[in-house]
Amino acid sequence: MSTPKDFTTGVGSDVRTSQRRVLFITRRTSAMVKRTDEEQVQTYPAALVRAALAFELLTIGLVLMSLFFNAPLEGIADPTNTPNPAKAPWYFLGLQEMLHYFPPVVAGVMIPAVLVAGLIVIPYFNVNIEADGMFVKDRARRLRIFYLAAPLLSVFLLYFDVYVALVPTLLVAGFMLLAAHSGPGSASSLRRYLASRAVSWWIMTWFLVELIVLTVVGTFFRGPGWSWVWPWRS
Amino acid sequence: MASRLDNTIARIEQTRLWRSIFRSGTGNSTLHRAMAIQQNIFLHILPTKVRRRMLDLSATWYLGTLTLGTFVLLVVTGILLMLYYHPSVPQAYTDVTDLRFVVSSGLFLRNLHRWSAHAMVLLAFAHLFRVFYRGAYRPPREFNWVIGVVLLLITLLLSYTGYLLPWDQLAFWAITVGSNISSAVPLMGDKVRFLLLGGHQVNANALLRFYVLHTVILPLSAVFFIAIHFWRIRKDGGLYVRQSDPLRKSAAQGEAAEESVAAGAGKEEA
């Protein structure tokens, strides 16, 4: 062993009362306690009082709503009389919209399964840890993937006439295109912001926009036979 | 008047009965305030201290707290509704019309349950997206994110199973549409649907199954996972704080500064 060791060793002074602790302190460093100026407060009462206040405001809001708006109740269930359209609860209307275009095994099983699996793997999926802009690192390859994936998805949606999902896709893809041609040096703050967004941000934002558009369309713009209706004309 | 009240409260807190119930004793010291959390079976899953800037509205919008709030409202109104409801056909429907026209405040009770349910679904989604956009799912919090996804699914199932209970046209056909999807599951679709409905179509058996799911199985699962969700906040070092979140400066800043080893900052001792 000709190379000098890059650390010194020692035995903790509390060796009699605790397990032996070996310290490795590399050169040019020292064991130090880092001071942070993070101010902390007691959970009781500071956080609990605020939580109670939030709960009270929530209760007041919902009580007022319950006083002025009645929950819907229709006639007794009748298996022989199908209403047209028969709609699922609002949070499933996005899926029902997909069910209109794709076979049930795709819209009812595969899409939800992919969504749930996608949500679960987000934190285990390393891309966003550094929160780098999507087109910053490995730019050429990522641009190629984007220029391939976005038109493919659009053509796929167009082929099945899913215009409701196509419009938000094109919108998000348009902003991604803008982001691809922006950088930290761009003049407008919007372009600088978009350029710094990571790939998971774009996927989640696309999902959020689709979720909102499909739910709103399913709730207000779908009539008999799942045809398009204008809510203000009925 | 106020001081007399304070004296009375102080005297009650000194009684042997009070002391036998609340282990932490009385007092306003930091130690007592910490013990009020740590020595309480319901509150001990919370950290005894929180970062001051995480209490700002802009940090969390209190979306998780509010989601829990709707759940509490739903449990309370749900238990009261159970006193008037029979999960049988056609009694279920007449019970709900009775709630509307006969039971005192029955209409209000059902409204509050219904709107709280919608609010809970909305708030759970909002909480999910808010946590995502803050990046608060990152290690070491990744498993708490997964528990959050499970809680979102439980929330959706709770709302969905509750949808059938009024046994009106809206309920019947929404559940028919939904349960038809489950028959599209490859290979065992029809078996899944039969298990869910207790038959080949939405009928009295389905109503009973949805009632049991809605009032027993799903709420208990929700409580179980909510407890883990809150406990993991403490174990993972408190709410996620972004470096860009503004620090609150106060007069006592110098003294209040906390000393902590960088790696263990904010971590609570078990």
Question: What residue spans define the domains of chain A?
Answer: 90-233
Task: Look at residue A234 in the predicted model and tell me its pLDDT.
Answer: 65
* Chain A residue nearest residue B112, CA to CA: A66
B20-42: per-residue pLDDT in tens? 888 776 677 888 888 888 888 89
Could you please report the per-residue DSSP string of B212-263? Answer: HIIIIIHHHHHHHHHHHHHHHHHHTTSS---TTSPPPP-TTHHHHPPB--GG
Query: What is the distance between the alpha carbons of residues A105 and B181, in angstroms, rounded to a whole number?
Result: 8
Predicted confidence (pLDDT) per residue in A92-138, tens digit: 999 889 988 998 888 888 999 999 999 998 888 765 455 677 787 77
Of residues B249 and B62, more confidence is placed in B62
What value, to the nearest 5°, has the Cα angle with vertex B261 and ends B260 and B264?
Answer: 90
**Rounded distance between C-alpha atoms, residue B196 and residue B180, angstroms:** 11
* DSSP symbols for chain A: --SPPSEE--B-TTTTTS---B--EETT----PPB----EEEIIIIIHHHHHHHHHHHHHHHHHHHHHSPPP--SBP-TT---SS----GGGHHHHHHHHHS-HIIIIIIHHHHHHHHHHHGGGSGGGSS---TTTTTHHHHHHHHHHHHHHHHHHHHHTT-HHHHHHHHHHHHHHHHHHT--TT-SSHHHHHHHT--HHHHHHHHHHHHHHHHHHHHHHSB-GGG-B--GGG-
Q: Which residue of A has its CA nearest to B33?
A: A44
Q: What is the mean pLDDT of chain B?
A: 87
Q: Which residues of A touch B33 (CB under 8 A)?
A: 42, 44-45
Which chain A residues have a beta carbon less than 8 Å from that of B258? 36, 38-40
Answer whether residue B15 shows pLDDT above 70: yes
In sequence order, the 6+-apart residues with CB closer than 8 A to the CB of B80 are B109
pTM of the model: 0.86
List the Cα angle B23/B26/B28 in 5-degree steps: 130
Q: What is the pLDDT of residues A42-73, one digit of tens each?
A: 998 899 999 999 999 999 999 999 999 999 99
Q: To the nearest whole angstrom, how far is the Cα of B61 from the nearest Cα of chain A?
A: 10
Tokens at B64, concatenated: 């998780």
Confidence of residue B12 (pLDDT cuts 50, 70, 90): confident
Whether the CB of A66 is below 8 Å from some CB of chain B: the reply is yes
ipTM associated with this complex: 0.87
Task: Write out residues 86-105 of B within 8 Å (CB-CB) of A.
Answer: 89-90, 93, 96-97, 100
Quote the tokens at residue A233. Answer: 């004309």
A87 interfacial to chain B (CB closer than 8 Å):
yes
Minimum-distance CB partner of B111 among A47, A71, A108: A71
Predicted pLDDT at A11: 61
A9: confidence class by pLDDT, cuts 50, 70, 90: low
B65-81, pLDDT tens digit by residue? 999 999 999 999 999 99
Mapping DSSP onto H, E and C, the string for B195-220 reads: HHHCCCCCCHHHHHHHHHHHHHHHHH
The answer to whether B242 and A20 are in contact (CB under 8 A) is no
List of chain A residues whose C-beta atoms are within 8 Å of the C-beta of residue B108: 66-67
Q: Tokens in use for B134?
A: 């803050």
Least confident range of A142-156, A184-198, B69-83: A184-198
All residues at 6 or more sequence positions from B227 whose CB lies less than 8 Å from its CB, including other chains? B45
Please write down the long-range contacts of B42-47, taking CB distance under 8 Å and 24 or more positions apart.
Answer: B43/A43, B43/A44, B43/A48, B45/B227, B45/B230, B45/B231, B45/B234, B46/A43, B46/A47, B46/B230, B46/B233, B46/B234, B47/A43, B47/B233, B47/B234, B47/B238, B47/B268
Could you please report the per-residue DSSP string of B20-69?
A: HH-TT-S--SHHHHHHHHHT-TTTTTS-SEEEGGGGSHHHHTTHHHHHHH
Residue B153 host element (H or E): helix B142-164
pLDDT reported for residue B267:
42
- Sign of the Cα pseudo-torsion (B149, B153, B154, B156, in order): positive
Q: Name which of B189, B197, B187, B111 is nearest B160 in CA terms.
A: B197
Contacts with A42 from chain B: Cβ below 8 Å = 30, 33-34, 37, 48-49
By DSSP bridging, strand A40-42 and strand B49-51 are antiparallel
Whether residue B166 and residue A73 make contact (CB cut-off 8 A), yes or no, is: yes
Helix (H, G, I), strand (E, B) or coil at B139: coil
CB proximity under 8 Å: B 6-65 to A: 30, 33-34, 36-37, 43, 46-53, 55, 62, 65
Contact A83 B253 (CB under 8 A): no
Interface of A with B in 12-41 (CB under 8 A): 33-41
Residue pair B73/B219 in contact (Cβ under 8 Å)? The answer is no
The full length of chain B comes to: 270
Q: Tens digit of pLDDT for each residue in A192-224? A: 888 888 888 898 999 999 999 999 999 999 999
The 3-state DSSP class for residue B78 equals: helix
CA distance, residue B174 to nearest chain A CA (Å): 4
The verdict on a CB contact (< 8 Å) between B256 and A39 is: yes
Q: What is the mean pLDDT of residues B36-58?
A: 90
SS3 category, B268: coil
Q: Cα(B144)–Cα(B126) distance, rounded to whole angstroms?
A: 16
Chain B residue with minimum CA distance to A207 = B129
Classify strands A7-8 and B49-51 as parallel, antiparallel or unpaired: unpaired
Tokens encoding B179: 């349960």
Nearest to A92 among B125, B138, B178 (CB): B178
Q: Specify the pLDDT at position B270.
A: 36
Q: Are A7 and A27 in contact (CB under 8 A)?
A: yes
pLDDT category at B268 given cuts 50, 70, 90 is very low
Q: How far apart are the first and last CA of chain A?
A: 88
Specify the length of chain A in residues.
Answer: 234
